[in-house]
């Protein structure tokens, strides 16, 4: 049996400071000698990278729908076996979504730390927390107030809480984690990120006695399911740089569990697809921010055309697909030539184009994932299939196919169906 303090860091809404608090808490506890593992609830690429930088370790997604309850329990059990503390950052507001962060907390009886931006309130925090406690069957273990002006401000907040304590608070930050249209900015783009994270950890006023009073959880050991070695002997090239950075660590781990050898390369550095590759994975990212560089990367584009001509299996998702079209038009209206493997044009927008969990029903079952983009793809190429929105089942993202090339705005979470994943890269079961 494994024992650890397992806590969810959730909030009343997006923008309250969940990531800042979770990062601060992870680093502060590590500095106090605690072994800390961090997870992120929901489909997300950027927050886990920030948390990874804070906690000095990879941060995986923990989501009931993407992984399934059994896989979530296996990951929690494995983390608890090697940690003193397991932190799980929630998604949006605690009760938002289907499933929500609250659903995960209820499934495993995880106590919740509620993060509230208190910059424009004091005792009203108590009313919000009371409502959150009584809305759903979730155990609120305490509150961490963000942007608290003084110890007096914190005392007002603490006095308003009826059924849970104020576990700690963060003062207003001199520096904050910058954001853009897909959430936080990638860690490598943030100057002085380590200084910002250290400032958060140093600024977190944590009531250690109240923190220690949160009970540890006992989880039975879980067997890791075996994955058939369907990609044994295959080498998969994965684009990885600032333009192609949205890669779930679990996706790479799934490919390796399937037997694949992974080689990375950088389109931004004009690197060709490695000649040893049997298949190609183009993940999402921010190609629109690097469109001029991608347009001039002739060596990389030539290798793409050669790979397609040779019948190499290619899976391109969201930003990866955007780099394969004929033209990409940014928000200023400027057009850039992309690789041209897919007919048509991608145009960036200021408003969200699509958001939410989706599933693609294929021969080998359901491959789950999500979509989140601020652009549209205009093409005369007929979709090969469509994903379905979860939970309503409405038509979701188009899946395009040209011979062995498949592309979509749909971000696939490979561990949700390893057999279907192997088929993406040309090796059907």
Q: Name the residues annotated as catalytic.
A: 318
Concatenated DSSP letters of 14-25 = TTSSHHHHHHHH
| Rounded Cα distance, 174 and 257, in Å | 44
E strands present in 205-302: 205-206, 217-219, 235-239, 261-265, 279-282
Pairing of strands 405-408, 314-317: parallel
Count the neighbouring beta carbons within 10 Å of the beta carbon of residue 15. Answer: 11
For the chain, how big is the Rg over CA atoms in Å? Answer: 22
Query: ∠169-32-126 over CA atoms, to 5°?
Result: 20
Q: Is 137 exposed, middle or buried (0-12, 13-18, 19+ CB in 10 A)?
A: exposed
Q: Which two tokens stand for residue 272?
A: 């060709």
- SS3 assignment, position 350: coil
Count the neighbouring beta carbons within 10 Å of the beta carbon of residue 120. Answer: 7
Q: Which two tokens stand for residue 151?
A: 């110890």
Of the candidates 119, 66, 139, the one whose C-alpha atom is nearest the C-alpha of residue 129 is: 139
DSSP secondary structure code for residue 136 in this structure: S
Count the neighbouring beta carbons within 10 Å of the beta carbon of residue 77. Answer: 21
| Rounded Cα distance, 423 and 426, in Å | 5
Of the candidates 144, 113, 80, 125, the one whose C-alpha atom is nearest the C-alpha of residue 10 is: 113
Point out which residues pair with 281 in neighbouring strands. Answer: 238, 315
| Rounded Cα distance, 100 and 91, in Å | 8
Task: Please answer whether residues 231 and 260 qualify as being in contact, where contact means their C-beta atoms are separated by less than 8 angstroms.
Answer: yes
Query: Which residues have C-beta within 8 Å of that of residue 212, sequence separation ≥ 6?
Result: none
| Rounded Cα distance, 281 and 53, in Å | 25
Q: Which two tokens stand for residue 270?
A: 């004009």
Q: Which two tokens stand for residue 375?
A: 């652009």
């Amino acid at each position: 049996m494994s024992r650890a303090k397992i806590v969810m860091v959730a909030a009343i809404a997006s923008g309250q400071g969940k990531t800042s608090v979770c990062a601060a808490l992870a680093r502060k506890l590590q500095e106090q000698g605690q072994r800390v593992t961090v997870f992120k609830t929901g489909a997300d690429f950027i927050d886990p990278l920030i948390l990874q930088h804070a906690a000095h370790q990879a941060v995986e997604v923990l989501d009931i729908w993407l992984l399934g309850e059994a896989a979530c329990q296996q990951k929690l059990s494995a983390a608890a076996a090697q940690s003193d503390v397991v932190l799980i950052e929630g998604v949006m507001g605690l009760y938002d979504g289907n499933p929500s962060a609250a659903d995960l907390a209820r499934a495993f009886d995880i106590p919740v730390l509620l993060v509230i931006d208190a910059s424009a309130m004091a005792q009203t925090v108590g009313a919000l927390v009371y409502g959150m406690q009584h809305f759903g069957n979730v155990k609120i273990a305490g509150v961490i107030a963000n942007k608290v002006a003084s110890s007096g401000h914190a005392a007002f907040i603490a006095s308003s809480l009826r059924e849970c304590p104020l576990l700690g608070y963060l003062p207003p930050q001199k520096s904050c984690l910058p954001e853009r249209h897909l959430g936080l900015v990638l860690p490598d783009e943030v100057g002085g990120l380590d200084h910002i994270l250290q400032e958060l950890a140093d600024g977190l006023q944590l009531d250690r006695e109240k923190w220690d009073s949160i009970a540890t959880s006992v989880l039975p050991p879980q067997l890791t399911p075996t994955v058939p070695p369907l990609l044994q002997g295959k080498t998969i090239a994965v684009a990885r740089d600032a333009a192609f950075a949205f890669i779930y660590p679990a996706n790479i781990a799934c490919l390796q569990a399937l037997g694949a050898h992974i080689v990375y390369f950088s389109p931004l550095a004009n690197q060709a697809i490695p000649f040893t590759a049997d298949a190609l994975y183009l993940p999402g990212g921010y190609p629109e921010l690097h469109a001029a560089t991608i347009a001039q990367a002739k060596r990389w584009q030539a290798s793409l055309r050669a790979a397609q001509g040779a019948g190499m299996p290619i899976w391109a998702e969201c930003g990866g697909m955007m780099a394969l079209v004929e033209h990409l038009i940014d928000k200023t209206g400027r057009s850039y030539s992309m690789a041209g493997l897919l007919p048509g044009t991608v145009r960036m927008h200021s408003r969200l184009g699509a958001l939410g969990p989706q599933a693609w029903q294929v021969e080998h079952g359901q491959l789950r994932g999500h979509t989140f983009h601020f652009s549209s793809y205009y093409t005369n190429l007929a979709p090969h299939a469509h994903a379905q929105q979860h939970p309503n089942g409405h038509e979701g993202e188009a899946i395009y196919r040209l011979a062995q090339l498949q592309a979509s705005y749909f971000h696939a979470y490979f561990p949700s169906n390893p057999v279907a994943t192997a088929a993406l890269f040309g090796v059907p079961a």
